Amino acid sequence: MNYVTARSNTPPARQPPAFLTPGQVLELSALPGVRFYVLGPPRDALQLNNMGTHSSPELYHLARRQSADLAQRIRFNGSDKSFDSYREGLSASEREQFQADLPFDPVFRIELDNHSARKQFLKSYDRPDQAWRRIDCDWLAAAEDLALQHDNMINNTSLVLAIELIADGRVLLFPADAQLGSWLSWQDLEFQITENDCVTRTVRANDLLARTVLYKVAHHSSHNATINTNGLEAMTRQDLAAFIPVDRKVALKKGGSWQMPARALYKRLLEKTNGRVLRSDIGWSTFREPNPAISKADWDPAWDAARNAENISVEDLYIEYRLG
């Protein structure tokens, strides 16, 4: 990130980074014949936070509850008020929720500055050699879950670009790590394009999806980063190809929830592209399950044709895709 930021301020550029807004259209003099549509990130907080349904919904909701508890505890601990004073400042419903989130009933609470009570009841607890037993800061354990949620939310702040070749309208879609909320936000966008004949037309997201010939699969092909109806199903080009930046072995080491590529999505990508799915870890996909919409007699030749396509080559260090 430091390199990219500094790069824009070095000769010959010497320009600060530009922050793009959904709905913008860019045509650069340095790259004639190419048009950039900015689809994301969304500017709505609800869309940014919408990551879709996770494979372990119970754990996800538990993490949300822990984060809410953490926020409540931070407010209390940052207030410098006594327990009774802080509680009195809450509304009835807030007070009820606050006490419900406490690990012990208030009757067992001893204030930190109540030295006489600590000396009477916590003599061994406060001994220096018993510090390892103390749980004073264990309420901070929820911070890990909060950080993980914020990390996930960052995915929806990804810059999403649809790159159009003006001459024939073909589109390359690069959604980075965008997840459900970002995809849904694209449906509200309208791009106003003025052609050479001075006629203005409106372009929408589904129009760009219908003309997509290369889809850089979002977020390593996780289950909640490619939507169906207004996403993959809207990509109707017969020459569609999908590229997945993923290392499945690394993903599996992260734990059972990191199913990348997600099987159902992976299968549908193969069906939609007639086998033109490439991965950064293995090159051509080896998942050869027939497309139910195509007879086996047609599927096998389509699969072989994909691997013999002249515009795609798989090398040891890179995969090259050439637009004719």
For position 54, what pLDDT does the model report?
Answer: 47
Residue 65 has pLDDT above 70, yes or no: no
Tell which of 150, 170, 189 closes a domain. 150
Q: Does residue 73 lie within any of the structural domains? A: yes
> Does any domain span residue 46?
yes
**196 and 87 in one domain?**
no
> Are both 103 and 190 inside the same structural domain?
no
pLDDT value for 59: 28
Cα-only R_g, the chain: 27
Question: Which of 45-49, 51-55, 71-75, 205-209 is predicted least confidently?
Answer: 51-55
**78, 114: one domain:** yes
Statement to judge: residues 44 and 171 lie in one domain: yes
Q: Which of 263, 268, 265, 258 is nearest to 54 (CA)?
A: 258
> DSSP string of 66-89?
HHHHHHHHHHHHHHT--HHHHHHT
Q: With bands split at pLDDT 50, 70 and 90, how would you rate the model's confidence at 308?
A: confident
Angle at 77 between CA 73 and CA 82, to 5 degrees: 115
Q: Which DSSP state fits 104?
A: S
**Domain boundary pick from 91, 119, 150:** 150
SS3 109: coil
Do 165 and 285 share a domain, yes or no? yes
pLDDT of residue 7: 73
What is the reported pLDDT for 198? 80
Structural domain ending residue among the three candidates 104, 131, 150: 150
In terms of domains, do 304 and 180 share one?
yes
Domain extent, residue 291, equals 21-51+156-321
The position carrying tokens 């930046």 is 245
- Least confident piece of the model among 11-15, 74-78, 213-217, 288-292: 11-15
Average pLDDT over the chain, rounded to an integer: 81
- The pLDDT of residue 141: 56
For residues 257 and 311, the model is more confident at 311
Exposure b/e, 128-162, CB count within 10 A at least 16 = b: eeeeeeeeeeebeebeebbeebeebbebbebebbb
Residues 310 and 180 in one domain: yes
Residues 47 and 130 reside in one and the same domain: no
* 135 band by pLDDT with thresholds 50, 70 and 90: confident
Task: Characterize 15-43 residue by residue with b for buried, 16 or more Cβ atoms within 10 angstroms of its Cβ, and e for exposed.
Answer: eeeeebebeeeeeeeeeeeebbbbbbbbe
Task: Let me know how many helices (H) and strands (E) the chain has, helices first.
Answer: 12, 12
Mean of pLDDT values over 231-235: 93
Question: CA–CA separation, 232 vs 228, rounded Å?
Answer: 5
For residues 52 and 231, give the distance between their C-alpha atoms in angstroms, rounded to a whole number.
Answer: 14
Residue 140 and residue 160 in one domain = no
Residues 175 and 313 in one domain: yes
Residue of 282, 272, 275 lying closest to 314 (CA atoms): 282
The region of weakest confidence among 7-21, 62-76, 185-199, 222-236 is 62-76
Total domains, the chain: 2
Residue 284 has pLDDT above 50, yes or no: yes
Residue 1 lies in a domain: no
Flag whether pLDDT at 165 surpasses 60: yes
Residue 287, judged by CB atoms within 10 A of its CB (0-12, 13-18, 19+), counts as: middle
85-102 pLDDT, tens digit each: 888 888 887 777 777 777
- Token digits for 303? 């699969």
Find the distance separating the first CA and the last CA of the chain, reported in whole Å. Answer: 33
Residue 203 pLDDT more than 70? yes
The pLDDT tens digits for 2-17 are 887 777 666 665 677 7
Q: Residue 125's pLDDT is what?
A: 82
- DSSP 8-state code for residue 245: -
